Amino acid sequence: MLRMNVKAVGLDRDTLLPVVILTDESEESYVPLVIGPAEANAIAVVLQNMETSRPLTHDLLLSSVLTLGGKVDKVVITDLADDVYYAEVCLVQQGKTLRIDARPSDAIALALRAGAPIFVNEKITPYAMAVPGEEDPEMEQFRSFLKDLSPDDFRKGN
């Protein structure tokens, strides 16, 4: 498994669809995931250290896991089939590991709240990950774009 970090979340400038960008630890390769607007907001709240007056759904989920004596151990993007990503939330409760099927966006939002690592299964990395190469000017431009990317870069009107 390859450990990933959340680089940014926001709107794709061309499609105006919400996207979360995961990068490997060296930020040399990335996985862009199209997600729903509610999940984009749930991820952005954590990335931007925003306070909410009431718990959001992912806050409630984490609180429930903790109250039941569990811990979010990690999340894994497990599969890619027909352009749909699949994920698991791995919980530990009383020494037992529980794997729960989840949408990647929900798994990521939960992992960020729990401080849990995010992984991509190596079997899908050839299909899911983009690795910009020196010989491809367009990918090199995108790599440069990723380097200085912030959530504000995805907002409408920029």
The beta-strand segments (E) located in the chain are 2-11, 18-24, 30-34, 70-81, 84-93, 96-102, 118-120
Looking up residue 70, the CATH number of its domain turns out to be 3.10.690.10
Hey, CA dihedral for 104, 33, 85, 136, is it positive or negative? negative
Query: Across residues 79-88, what is the average pLDDT?
Result: 93
Most confident stretch, 27-41, 77-91, 124-138: 77-91
Residue 155 has pLDDT above 80, yes or no: no
Higher-confidence position of 157 and 57: 57
144 assigned to some structural domain: yes
Which range marks the domain in which residue 101 is found? 6-154
Task: Return the pLDDT at 13.
Answer: 80
141 assigned to some structural domain: yes
109 assigned to some structural domain: yes
Share of the chain above pLDDT 90, in %: 61
72 assigned to some structural domain: yes
Number of domain units in the chain = 1
37 assigned to some structural domain: yes
Do 48 and 29 touch, CB atoms closer than 8 A? Answer: no
Tell whether pTM > 0.85: no
CB atoms within 10 A of CB 104: 26
Task: Return the pLDDT at 93.
Answer: 96
Task: Return the pLDDT at 138.
Answer: 54
18 assigned to some structural domain: yes
1 assigned to some structural domain: no
Residue 116 has pLDDT above 90, yes or no: yes
64 assigned to some structural domain: yes
Do 22 and 42 touch, CB atoms closer than 8 A? Answer: no
Report the DSSP beta bridge partners of residue 88. Answer: 76, 101
